[in-house]
Every structure is written in C-alpha cells, then in structure tokens.
C-alpha cells in the first residue's frame, strides 16, 4: 500500500496550477444520463473518484471518450471527456459500485427522470458522518415518485407519464440532494421549486451546464431554485469550474510553511470565507488576473476561530486543513464543526505530530505549539489526509502518511505540485 513521505522545513515557492473541481465534475458527469446526445466536459480532474464514477456510468450505458491535456503538462491534467448515452442499458446501480463513493447515489435522479425507474444501492464514502439519504427520497416523493427501501437498495418508480413538478423544502441544507433533485426536475412535468437549497458554486456550475443542455432553471446560487421541466435535453460543452477546496488547501500550506506561491486557474470569489480566515491568520493574499498570490509567514501565525457552515460560510472540507494551520498559531483557536458529526478523526493523528488539541463535542480547541515533529500518521478520510501532509510540510523531521488512497480521491498530482514548489515529498510503494 502506498504512503507519502514528507520531510518538513522547506518554504513553498513557485506556481501551483489548480485543477477542475471534483465536487463539480461528479454531478456534471451524472448529468450525462439525462440526454441521448453527447455531453462534453472540459477541465475534468484525473482522480480516483472520477474514474470510479466513469465505471458506474458505463454500467448504465454511457459511452466515454477521454481526450486532451494542458500544454507542457503530462497526461491527467485538465482532461476533456465526452459522455454519450443514447440508451440507458441498466437502471440498477449495484452495491459493489456505489459503496465506495457517496456521490454515485446521485444517479437516482437522472435515472428516474429519464427511465421512470431506478434501483440504487444505499451509498458509501468517507466515514465522516451518517449523511442519510432521506432528503433525496422525500424530495423525489414530492415529484410523485414511489419509493421503497429493500435489502439495502432504494427502489424508485415515477408515476405513469413521468415525474411531476412539486415543491420541496429541505429541512437542512444538502449539496448532494440539491444536485440530485435539480437534475431530476429538469425532465419532470411542470414546475419544481426547491427551497432552502444549497448555494455552493458547484450548484451554479451544474445549473449552467443543464441550461446549456436546454433546461429551464432560475435561482441557482440562492436558497430558492425553480426548475420548469422540459421534454428532453440536448448535448452541450461545458468547462468544470476551479476546485475551491484544492485552492484553499494549498493556500493554507503556504501560510503554514512560509513562502510565496501563485495559485493559477482559480478564482478567489469561490472561497471568500476561507481566504478571510487565512488573511486574519497573517497570510498576505492578493488576486491576480488568473488566480491568487499567497505569501505565508509560518513562524508568525495568528489564532483565528472558525465555524463550518454551508456556503458562503467557512467550508467543512477545509476544516481539517485549517486546524493543521492553527496548530502553529501563537495562541488558542477554536473550530466548531456544524456540518458533519464525526469530522475530527484527524485530531489524534495531528497529536502524534505534537499538536495540542482538546475536543468537546463539536468544538476543537487548538493551542498553538512552537514546533511540530515528524511521525508516522494514518489518513482517515480525504480532507483529513491532506491536513496531515500540510502539517508534515511544517514539521521538523520526517512524516509518513499511510492510507493515501484517500488523497487520490480528491487531489490531482499532489506530490508533483508540491515538489515543484520546493517541498521534499514523495510517494512510496511498500
């Protein structure tokens, strides 16, 4: 099994290209099930989750062609992928395919909208919370679907004539359910209104792609999204937006290690709350025509309290990385996690590096230490794994991060991007 070896102490200097957003690419890929024409997506990152979803879509009859790369870069960057599904060949998404990645459950919306039937396994994914599917189920029921859960599968049927427009108020904000119900509603009869909807940039990105395919959607990016169903959707060409979580992750790495890095092909407006917290911590942040310029002061980090919230608040997907940064702050910081009930599993691993962190319910109190020291640590989920890499970059000595398959789900060529900026980091296959 692979591990990542990091020798800390080197400031980061250079340029890091930001990849397309995983959290945007996945629902965009699933949208290919809504049309018999070809959907072409540009700037698709080369990640394990993308590869897994391509296998799932292939099992439903989607033909996939992968082409393209950025100039002067190797295979795997900014791919252009063509998705074509003239006929859906299977409306069942099996446990073996869905168990590895929660987002694969989202196929239930397009399958039900286009075929009137879907049988999808209950999902898996990172062990960071229960993340139930009740919001998906109740939302589809609001469009007239009949749904039962049997032997670990959600079995859904649309009424004769297809899904019908309806009104659904999310009892809590859910990005995945907003994606799924928005896709399902594009082919429903009549108008669907989704209230208390997620406002993430990835929601807007999906809506823009669906509109290019012929969908009628208003309000994406606000709490109320209105979708007027159409009889069919066409193909389209769409570019995946930059990954705001990858952007924030590397910005925090620079703030923690010191140095000066330009993050290219990204947009500061996608992560205003996180950049504000970084600025308060002492990082110097300026925007450029093509991205963000970060100057870090690793020995002079100010403590900053944050609470994770749905967009536009501080993202839960940057909580672990910001905690790593706060372990070196001059003072005490508090982080409150409000999105997932079990997203502090990285705390005990950061403690192995010398961090001083106390937990009380959903609040972590971090007392900054003068130094972190390298140690063997274990990744517990996608974002926690990269927090350990960031901490290792700033620690004295050698850190070995095991179970890095989590990293491969969400960070494209992490070691290469960091090495190009002066980090001593390598992947080792034991």
Q: Which residues are catalytic?
A: 126
Instruction: Tell whether 172 is in a known binding site.
Output: yes
Instruction: Tell whether 5 is in a known binding site.
Output: no
How many Cβ atoms sit within 10 Å of the Cβ of residue 6? 27
Instruction: Tell whether 131 is in a known binding site.
Output: yes
Instruction: Tell whether 174 is in a known binding site.
Output: yes
Report the DSSP beta bridge partners of residue 233: 35
- Asked if 161 contacts 151 with a C-beta cutoff of 8 angstroms, the reply is no
Instruction: Tell whether 367 is in a known binding site.
Output: no
Instruction: Tell whether 265 is in a known binding site.
Output: no
Instruction: Tell whether 175 is in a known binding site.
Output: yes
Instruction: Tell whether 23 is in a known binding site.
Output: yes
Instruction: Tell whether 2 is in a known binding site.
Output: no
- Asked if 316 contacts 323 with a C-beta cutoff of 8 angstroms, the reply is no
Instruction: Tell whether 272 is in a known binding site.
Output: no
Q: Six-digit token pair at 74?
A: 């190797």
Query: Which amino acids are annotated as binding site for phosphoenolpyruvate, given as ranges?
Result: 22-23
Query: Which amino acids are annotated as binding site, given as ranges?
Result: 22-23, 102, 131-135, 172-175, 317, 339
Query: Which amino acids are annotated as binding site for UDP-N-acetyl-alpha-D-glucosamine, given as ranges?
Result: 102, 131-135, 172-175, 317, 339
């Amino acid at each position: 099994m692979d591990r990542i070896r990091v020798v800390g102490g080197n400031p980061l200097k250079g340029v890091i290209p930001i990849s397309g957003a995983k959290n945007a690419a996945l629902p965009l890929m699933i949208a290919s099930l809504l049309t018999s024409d070809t959907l072409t997506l540009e700037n698709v990152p080369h990640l394990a989750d993308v590869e897994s979803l391509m296998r799932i879509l292939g099992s439903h009859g989607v033909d996939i062609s992968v082409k393209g790369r950025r100039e002067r870069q190797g295979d795997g960057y900014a791919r252009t992928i063509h998705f074509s599904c003239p006929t859906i060949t299977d409306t069942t998404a099996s446990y073996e395919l869905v168990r590895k990645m929660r987002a694969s459950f989202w196929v239930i919306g397009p399958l039900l909208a286009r075929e009137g039937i879907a049988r999808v396994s209950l999902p898996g994914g990172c062990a960071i919370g229960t993340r139930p599917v009740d919001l998906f189920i109740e939302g589809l029921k609001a469009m007239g679907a009949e749904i039962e859960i049997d032997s670990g599968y959600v079995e859904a049927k649309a009424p004769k004539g297809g899904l019908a427009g309806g009104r659904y108020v999310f009892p809590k904000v859910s990005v995945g359910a907003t994606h799924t119900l928005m896709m399902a509603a594009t082919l429903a009869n009549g108008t669907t209104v989704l209230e208390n909807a997620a406002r993430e940039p990835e929601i807007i990105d999906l809506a823009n792609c669906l509109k290019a395919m012929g969908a009628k959607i208003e309000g994406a990016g606000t709490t109320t999204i209105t979708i007027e169903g159409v009889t069919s959707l066409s193909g389209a060409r769409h570019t995946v937006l930059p990954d705001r979580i990858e952007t924030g992750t590397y910005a925090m790495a620079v703030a923690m290690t010191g140095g000066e890095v330009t993050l290219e092909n990204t947009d500061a407006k996608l992560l205003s709350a996180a950049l504000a917290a970084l600025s308060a911590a002492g990082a110097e942040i300026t925007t450029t025509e093509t991205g963000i310029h970060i100057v870090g002061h690793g020995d002079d980090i100010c403590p900053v309290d944050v609470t994770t919230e749905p967009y536009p608040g501080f993202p839960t997907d940057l909580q672990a990385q910001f905690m790593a940064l706060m372990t070196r702050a001059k003072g005490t910081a508090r982080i409150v996690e409000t999105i997932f009930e079990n997203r502090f599993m990285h705390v005990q691993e950061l403690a192995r590096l010398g961090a001083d962190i106390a937990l009380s319910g959903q609040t972590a109190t971090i007392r900054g230490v003068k130094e972190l020291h390298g140690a063997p640590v274990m990744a517990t989920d996608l974002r926690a794994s990269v927090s350990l890499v960031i901490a290792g970059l700033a620690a004295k000595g050698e850190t070995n991060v095991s179970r890095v398959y989590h990293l491969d789900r969400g960070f494209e060529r992490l070691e290469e991007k960091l090495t190009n900026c002066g980090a001593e980091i390598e992947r080792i296959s034991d």
